[in-house]
Structure 1
């Protein structure tokens, strides 16, 4: 909104700063952070009042988690509010890519909210049917992918290789939707310990802030040999808003957590990262930057696959962060070590920008 206003006034005086993407990105981080910190206490109080017993805790999970009973969920609403308000203030309202990513974020957030609400209402960790959730996610991701593809094309770029990209045609829409849905659910599965998903999302957002900024700049993209996507640079503002909102949420989610983000936040954040990666044509790099989320999701798939066929478990408990808890690692140890892994993977993903 401020960008549009300054544009109408031809960026006079100090408003000339708004012309610069770097300024608006930094401002979006600060705005989302302040909004999150301001609304946090009242939001948590309201959630606690409305939910009573809070998020249901799995009886078959680690026994240490039973102490978290009564902690309210749906804290993702704080994140979505901070991100949305920050974006409306600093984004270029004419940028279709930003609207597509916001559509995925809020759409996945709505699905996650319905799931969280169903869990709280039924006092059960089983929420909305998995098939219904996936159907809704693919509809949202498919429409957003169509919006993105209509502007950025259908080319698939493979990192490390300096060969012509693959043109997937309309199949790219299905591939893009699968990427968004998969990553949304991968982040959702990771959100099982206090702060475990939030900080890696911040790290992945920072990595993609750099990537979309480079991809949106013709000179940088040409020098690095990465796809140039005009207009993608504005998603740096979106990445910044996610970082600021997540930092504010982490303030309240730090052990012992005063609130859980729930599916409302984890689905939305994962979907947002997936949509950003699709826009920048860095879907494969997303698998590296967000490798922690990929491993978490794969641990569940492997566990279910082998248990159904052999009756035996590969891990003591899935997702894999629970496996390490069962091995005797303290929750804080698991979280901090997983944070370190996420930082290393983000650096590895950024290295692909030059290794071609």
Structure 2
């Protein structure tokens, strides 16, 4: 909005030339998101407390989490407001100059956030009716996530956002290698792959959101990293120097990632231990969807495995725990399966809690691992 209002004035007021620079608008989006989060968070938290929108303690969590049942949830509304306001102010929506990337990422984030909001709302409604707090039925939630992934896959295939084929992806550590489906059947396989990436990313962040500040901090690290990649891929000179594919307009995703980063840091102010509010599915599904969407738009789906290494480990721990438990239960009985688990608790962060690590120690150490994953991902720009 501000770009279209003020940029034409650059001929007479040179200061407005700054709006032509993605780095300036990304910095402005970050600061705006931070300020908006600080402004709206107290009001939203008070409202959630008044409505008794309390966190539902998940089954199987350590006993130390029992006191969190009175902490308000649905704080993802803070993140969504703090993300979209700066994007509306500082985004450039000229369609073939990055607007296509920005709008697509925003739509996917809102879509996933809407699914999460519906889930949180139904939990609140069920609680008031005295019913079991299950929220949105799992299969309905999954249908919504799969629909978003399918829509994104079809869109990038039928309407390529850059000069690269829509149905294509790249590999980290390899220069100028583009994986393109050779047949129509393989193209549909690519669409299924995009659906898997988007659904997996949203669920992985949702599973990771189990400790105060854990998910918001890790998403902030991942968003900052993707912002660097978006900026590099969107510059013709830098992409050529680094020997990566040039994606015209992709630099606009730098503004998107900066807004996500600012929103996460602003939310973390209230979500750090002891948390005053939790993001709930409203925030976790939206943030996971945002990361998944950015990875697909940047043709960097496999890079997400590195940047989101902690999210991958958290998801894998749950899958492995369930698979081994069911296998041992079938082969040796329930008692044996309960005594011989892979992890003391799943997801992974609960395993270390049960081992005796304080919650803050788990969070900070996972952040450190997240930073290491980010540095490893950035190293792929030169190690090609």
CA distance change for structure 1 residues 62 and 27 in 2, over 3 Å: closer, same or farther? Answer: same
Q: Is the 8 A contact 2:176 2:244 kept in 1?
A: no
How far apart are residue 116 of structure 1 and its match? 1.2
CA distance change for structure 1 residues 92 and 163 in 2, over 3 Å: closer, same or farther? Answer: closer
How many residue pairs end up in the alignment?
355
How far apart are residue 155 of structure 1 and its match? 2.0
Per-residue Cα deviation, 1:224-250 (whole angstroms, up to 9, x for no partner): 121211110000000000011111100
Query: Which residue does 1:197 correspond to in 2?
Result: 215
CA distance change for structure 1 residues 304 and 42 in 2, over 3 Å: closer, same or farther? Answer: same
The counterpart of 2:203, out of the listed 172, 185, 196, is 185
CA distance change for structure 1 residues 58 and 139 in 2, over 3 Å: closer, same or farther? Answer: closer
The counterpart of 2:167, out of the listed 138, 147, 154, is 154
Query: Which residue does 1:282 correspond to in 2?
Result: 300
Query: Which residue does 1:321 correspond to in 2?
Result: 349
| Structure-2 separation of matches of 1:183 and 1:231 | 24
Q: Is the 8 A contact 1:58 1:125 kept in 2?
A: no
Query: Which residue does 2:30 correspond to in 1?
Result: 29
| Structure-2 separation of matches of 1:97 and 1:174 | 20
The counterpart of 1:105, out of the listed 93, 106, 109, is 109
Q: Is the 8 A contact 2:152 2:194 kept in 1?
A: no
Per-residue Cα deviation, 1:141-173 (whole angstroms, up to 9, x for no partner): 222333334224222211123463210234323
Q: Is the 8 A contact 1:193 1:331 kept in 2?
A: yes
| Structure-2 separation of matches of 1:108 and 1:176 | 15
CA distance change for structure 1 residues 209 and 61 in 2, over 3 Å: closer, same or farther? Answer: same
Q: How is 1:295-334 mapped onto 2 (pairs within 5 angstroms)?
A: 295-311=313-329, 312=337, 313-334=341-362
Q: Which runs of 5+ in 2 are unaligned?
A: 182-186, 330-336
CA distance change for structure 1 residues 325 and 161 in 2, over 3 Å: closer, same or farther? Answer: same
Query: Which residue does 1:248 correspond to in 2?
Result: 266
How far apart are residue 59 of structure 1 and its match? 5.0
How far apart are residue 119 of structure 1 and its match? 2.0
CA RMSD after TM alignment: 1.5
Q: Is the 8 A contact 1:227 1:281 kept in 2?
A: no
Per-residue Cα deviation, 1:169-228 (whole angstroms, up to 9, x for no partner): 343232222211111110110000000111111111111110000001111111112121
Q: Is the 8 A contact 1:158 1:165 kept in 2?
A: yes
How far apart are residue 120 of structure 1 and its match? 2.4
TM-score by length of 2: 0.89
Query: Which residue does 1:2 correspond to in 2?
Result: 2
| Structure-2 separation of matches of 1:11 and 1:20 | 15
| Structure-2 separation of matches of 1:7 and 1:174 | 41
Query: Which residue does 1:122 correspond to in 2?
Result: 126
Q: Which runs of 5+ in 1 are unaligned?
A: none
TM-score by length of 1: 0.96
Q: Secondary structure at the match of 1:51?
A: coil
